[in-house]
Structure 1
Amino acid sequence: MSEAPVFLDIEASGITGGSFPIEIGWAQPVQAEGGWALALRSILIRPIQPWLDEPLRWDRAAEPVHGLTREVLLQEGLPPDEACDVLDGALAGLEVASDTGANGWDADWLYILYEAAGRSPRGWFLGEPKSGGLVARRLRAAGLDPMTVRPAMARWRPAHSHAAAEDAGAFAWEWAMAELLAAGGATGLTSENLPELIPAPIWPRPLAGGYRRREG
Structure 2
Amino acid sequence: MSAPNAPPIFIDIESSGIARGSFPIEIGWARPVIMLDGRVELDVRSVLVRPSDNWLADPARWDSSAEPVHGLSREILLRDGRPLSDVCEMLDRTFDGAEVASDTGMGGWDDDWLLTLYEEAGRAGRNWDLAEKQSGGVVARQFRALGLDPRVVRPALAPWLPPHSHAAAEDALRFAWEWGMAEILARSDLVGRPDADLVAMLRDLPAVVPPARWPQAASHETYRRRASREAQSA
User: Does TM, scored on the shorter chain, surpass 0.5?
Assistant: yes
- The amino acid of 1:6's aligned partner reads I
Report the counterpart of residue 166 of structure 1 in structure 2. 170
Higher mean displacement: 132-141 or 115-124: 115-124
| Cα drift, residue 122 of structure 1 | 3.6
Show structure 1 runs of 4+ deviating over 6 A. Answer: none
5 Å-filtered alignment, 1:190-201, equals: 190=199, 191-201=202-212
- The amino acid of 1:30's aligned partner reads V
| Cα drift, residue 103 of structure 1 | 1.3
C-alpha separation in 2, matches of 1:185 and 1:94: 30
Contact 1:5–1:97, Cα closer than 8 Å, also in 2:
yes
Is 1:56 matched up with 2:60?
Answer: yes
C-alpha separation in 2, matches of 1:94 and 1:213: 25
Gaps of 5+ in 2: none
C-alpha separation in 2, matches of 1:136 and 1:43: 27
| Cα drift, residue 96 of structure 1 | 0.2
Higher mean displacement: 188-197 or 149-158: 188-197
Is 1:212 matched up with 2:224?
Answer: yes
Is 1:86 matched up with 2:97?
Answer: no
Report the counterpart of residue 28 of structure 1 in structure 2. 31
SS where residue 155 of structure 1 aligns? helix
5 Å-filtered alignment, 1:96-175, equals: 96-175=100-179
Report the counterpart of residue 67 of structure 1 in structure 2. 71
Paired residue total = 216
C-alpha separation in 1, matches of 2:125 and 2:44: 20
| Cα drift, residue 120 of structure 1 | 4.3
Is 1:6 matched up with 2:9?
Answer: yes
C-alpha separation in 2, matches of 1:201 and 1:28: 19
- The amino acid of 1:16's aligned partner reads A
* TM-score normalised by L of structure 2: 0.89
| Cα drift, residue 194 of structure 1 | 2.2
- What is the percent sequence identity of the aligned residues? 56
Gaps of 5+ in 1: none
Is 1:189 matched up with 2:198?
Answer: yes
Contact 1:34–1:202, Cα closer than 8 Å, also in 2:
no
CA RMSD between the two structures: 1.3
C-alpha separation in 1, matches of 2:108 and 2:73: 24
SS where residue 26 of structure 2 aligns? strand
Is 1:44 matched up with 2:55?
Answer: no
| Cα drift, residue 34 of structure 1 | 4.6
* TM-score normalised by L of structure 1: 0.96
C-alpha separation in 2, matches of 1:50 and 1:185: 56
